[in-house]
A and B are shown apart, each in its own frame.
Chain A
């Protein structure tokens, strides 16, 4: 069955860095676009970044552009989010998800909490 398992979250100081990893199983990663979505405590969903199946096309939300980098290694069944220059407002649960069709995201991982605080 399809599974997405995320790791790499935790507590970091403002200005610090974290790298999130999302390892997938049960499907061929190279067949799908993937995305990162976050949700601040008590808030709604906020899209972060989106990557095409080959990695050749990438989009970022303005709020993270220049600070976050999305990447993928299809051979390792893995999606990544490198987060630099973290700010307090980046504190959120981060989800990786698979794009089933036209930004309809059908499988999500359990989410990992990133806390940016001094």
Chain B
């Protein structure tokens, strides 16, 4: 049972937009920065978003992040088949004194 809650799966058509939610509490998302990762099959995770809404160099602006209260959202526009992957949110939990991840969301581009 993950501390952060994500939907197990989402799907959308190529070219469309999708959002992935990440729900937590005041001890994690509510008072700490959120990051998002993309993991393609058989590869290491890749940082997409850090500090809630910042993109590392090289990450296209099709990927966006936002946070409101104890929830965060990853948005992906202009979906491509290459975006099919597992997506994870992560943050620090001040009560647990631990890094926590969501359970992951599998994105299918139909």
Contact = CB atoms under 8 A, between A and B. Distances in A.
B110 interface: no
Interface stretch (A12-20, A45-53, A70-78, A83-91): A45-53
Interface residues of B, number: 28
Nearest to B103: A44
A115 B92 CA distance: 28
Interface string B72-86: 000000000000001
A106 B92 contact: no
B24 interface: no
Contacts of B45: 37, 45, 95, 97, 105, 108
A107 B99 CA distance: 16
A103 B103 contact: no
- Give the secondary structure class of B's interface: strand
A59 B33 contact: no
Nearest to B86: A44
Candidate in A50, A61, A97, A103 with the most chain B CB atoms within 10 angstroms: A103
Given A45-B37, A45-B104, A59-B98, A105 B92 contact: no
Contacts of B33: 101-104
A25 interface: no
A35 interface: yes
Contacts of A105: 35, 37, 45, 47, 90
Q: How big is chain A's contact interface, by range?
A: 20 to 34
A54 to B, nearest CB: 18
Which one of A37, A47, A95, A104 has the greatest number of beta carbons of chain B within 10 Å?
A: A104
Given A45-B45, A45-B104, A110-B44, A104 B97 contact: no
Interface of A: 35, 37, 44-47, 50, 59, 61-62, 95, 97, 100-106, 108-111
Given A45-B88, A46-B101, A102-B32, 8 more contacts: A47-B98, A59-B99, A97-B45, A102-B51, A105-B47, A108-B45, A109-B44, A111-B44
30 contacts: A37-B99, A44-B2, A44-B101, A45-B37, A45-B45, A45-B104, A46-B101, A47-B90, A47-B99, A59-B97, A59-B99, A61-B98, A62-B98, A97-B45, A100-B47, A101-B50, A101-B51, A101-B54, A102-B32, A102-B50, A102-B92, A103-B32, A103-B90, A103-B92, A104-B47, A104-B51, A104-B90, A105-B37, A106-B50, A108-B46
